[in-house]
Chain A
Amino acid sequence: MSISDPIENGLKGGWLHIDASTLQVSRHFEADVVIVGTGAGGGVAADILTQAGLKVIMIEAGALKSSKDFDMEERTAYPNLYQQAASMKTADKGISIFQGRTVGGATTINWTTSIRTPEPTLDFWAKEKSVVGLDTQSLAPWFDTMEQQLNISTWLYEPNRNNGALLEGCNKLGWQSTVIKRNVKGCWNTGYCGMGCPVNAKQSMLVTTIPSALDAGAQLISRAKVMQIEHSEGKVTGLKAQVVNTNFEPRGTTLTFSAKHYILSAGAIHTPALLMRSNTPDPFELLGRTFLHPSLLSGGIYDEQIKGHSGAPQSIYSDEFVWRDGASGDLGYKLEVAPVHPVLVASKTLGYGQSHAELMKNFNRMQVVIALIRDGFNEQCPGGQVRLTDSGFALDYPLTDGFWQGAKRAFLSMAELQFAAGAKQVRPMTEGLPQLNSWAEAKAEIETADLGLLRTVVASAHVMGGCPMGEDRLISMVNSEGSSHYLENLSVMDGSVFPTSLGANPQLSIYALVARNASLLAQRLKPVVG
């Protein structure tokens, strides 16, 4: 069956794309707007600004891949499409972090769950974080627009059993549950979103906004990593990028860029790290405060076949516990499921030898619930801090007592849910617990379990924050429209502007916010160039 490949077609049709790894000599580029990063933020910004008639260059550290490269294997996907070959961790190795490094950023590999920014989060930002103009009402048109553009709608198919068990558990226990909206068009329901969509059904930036921008004349430079923002007297004067080879190592060739306006969309962690490395003003040392939705995992073994690798990875969530104690109260957590693929599961479970082999032999009967802890709303879980190192950056993310208390509640909820859904055994992914055979047993064991750093598996695919927005300079780096407080021709348009985590999967929040802010910027820039 042949799949139409928009990237291949676009390149044949004359898109302006340079794979920088092929460049032998240093070069200089000029545009109206230069955008660093092509993920959820960069993709949307590039499209809107190009359509507004501006000359746009997108610079991306990752490579340009297309559906023909997506072979549905983790061994190909992780090194090609993920930051640090999917082995990225916090400095103390306590949290595994998944982030994209490819054209389309994390949207190329994400699981398609699309959720509007929760109202309690927007209220919290307005009250506590000096964010203005972003409430449910004012954002609604932007959500509508992006939902339409990216084919975001409720997943009408039956959930796979992995998600089905989440739904069943919620129904049995009377807990809240929601059918997820997904950004897909003609989805084959195979379950390999995390390795890049092989049939171009996922409406990621790779097949939507980026082709649209390129069709309209934008330029894409892939495998070029921006290392330096040059600035003087309150203005950005240029960017410097390193060409990387196919292994993403610097090749010694330098590219320079100048533009009227610069947009950072390198994502949480990389946007703040770039600003820090470039010594841009940060008088209140706000850069790099990162949130992760640190997530706990619970495996359930059922009598029936679950086949959690097959079918839409996420189609049901439960918000029963997210806001239970209010935004700034005890840590809440969102319940979702994770797709079950061999490398992901083998490495994020416990033990080795016979016990691990037994778990893996039950692979198709395994159901995995995840609890995403809402971090950044209070001192129980204040988030992490990016710091620069000789060779790059490190993220310190102390897991506090408050976090572990939240984690314990989350393990209890997940076990209760899984037993209610018919699990025969539940294995919370933390060392030292026996195999749990009933909810009563689980309750007793989890309540006294000794959770802690490295003993408990903690992972995250939601990196947010690091360059917070707001009007008060004491607590924000960019204003509520994404413009830098300090450098007049610099904007930040990605997940790094969130002043806390969201309490929901981030992509749609980034799409809508960036659509708004890029449109406002286009209005501001157009007269200058027009």
Chain B
Amino acid sequence: MQRRTFLTGAFVGTAALALGVNLYPNKVEAPAEDLYSRLLFSVLVPVFLDGMLPEVAKPREIVINRTLDAISEAIKVLPSEQQQELAELLGQLESRLGLLLLSGSVTPLIMRQPQQLISMLESWRFHYLQLLQTAYLGLRELVMASYYACPEHWGGIGYAKPSFLLK
């Protein structure tokens, strides 16, 4: 049976064919423990959560790290198919060719300015290709869900769970 995966879109497939390369590594490791994916999210998280992160360096770092931990946790509880899809996307963003195809530039994401990252996310968000919109939505949902899952982050929105059951 044909693999139904995150990036089996005509766009990436055709481009890869034209370039004579295989875009898909045979085995993609789940990204949960992957240092690179943590690094990747560490540049995306401040863009996604701009406006919710503290301005001061130290507290900001704490919140970003907490969110990165929560992202790792969230990935672990996703069903394996979704972990695989995510691993593929992150793998693409890591590889120069994948990055070029997905974002029109080979500059690693960790070396891009926030404005450039915003441009990339905006182009995915409104792209006519569903797979790029899906990339945007998948990353967005993961980051938002992970950040707002942490009780430490509820202060900024005035939410607290009832205390009647707290020991």
Contacts and interface: CB of A to CB of B under 8 A. Distances in A.
Contacts of B80: 249, 391
Contacts of B65: none
A352 B151 CA distance: 20
Given A353-B50, A363-B157, A454-B130, A72 B162 contact: yes
A364 B51 contact: no
A1 B81 contact: no
Interface in B42-90: 47-52, 70, 73-74, 76-82
A351 B162 CA distance: 29
Nearest to B140: A352
Interface in B106-141: 118, 121, 125-126, 130, 133-134, 137-138, 140-141
Nearest to A195: B161
* From A247, A343, A363, residue with most partner B Cβ within 10 Å: A343
B150 A75 contact: yes
Contact of B156 (A192, A356, A361): A361
A343 B140 CA distance: 12
Nearest to A96: B141
B144 A347 contact: yes
Given A358-B51, A454-B133, A342 B4 contact: no
A344 to B, nearest CB: 9
B28 interface: no
Contacts of B159: 309, 341-342, 363-364
Interface residues of B, number: 46
Given A352-B140, A392-B81, A394-B4, A343 B161 contact: no
Contacts of A3: 165
Interface stretch (A79-87, A439-447, A480-488): A79-87
A4 to B, nearest CB: 14
* From B70, B74, B159, residue with most partner A Cβ within 10 Å: B159
A11 interface: no
B41 to A, nearest CB: 13
Contacts of B121: 352
Contacts of A361: 51, 156-157
Contacts of A139: none
A168 interface: no
Nearest to A247: B77
Given A72-B162, A75-B150, A454 B134 contact: yes
Contacts of A391: 80-81
A343 B149 contact: yes
Interface of A is mostly: loop
A72 B165 contact: yes
Interface in A85-132: 85, 87, 91-93
Nearest to B143: A352
Contacts of B125: 351, 431
Contact of B118 (A91, A353, A392, A455): A353
Contacts of A346: 144-145, 147-148
B156 A360 contact: yes
A279 interface: no
Nearest to A360: B157
B20 interface: no
Given A73-B161, A342-B157, A85 B77 contact: yes
Contacts of A72: 161-162, 165
A96 to B, nearest CB: 9
B144 A190 contact: no
A1 B165 contact: yes
Contacts of B130: 92, 453-454
Contacts of B18: none
A361 B156 CA distance: 7
A93 B137 contact: yes
A75 B149 contact: yes
B51 A357 contact: yes
A78 B47 CA distance: 26
Nearest to B84: A391
Contacts of A356: 48, 51, 144
A84 B80 CA distance: 9
Contacts of A394: 4
Contacts of B73: 75
B158 A1 contact: no
A232 interface: no
A188 B126 CA distance: 44
Contact of A454 (B74, B137, B148, B157): B137
Interface of B: 1, 4, 47-52, 70, 73-74, 76-82, 118, 121, 125-126, 130, 133-134, 137-138, 140-141, 143-145, 147-151, 154, 156-159, 161-162, 164-165
Q: Which 4 A-B pairs have the closest CB atoms?
A: A357-B51, A75-B149, A342-B148, A363-B157
6 contacts: A87-B78, A342-B157, A342-B159, A358-B51, A364-B157, A389-B4
Given A79-B77, A454-B133, A454-B134, 6 more contacts: A71-B165, A73-B161, A343-B149, A352-B143, A360-B52, A361-B51
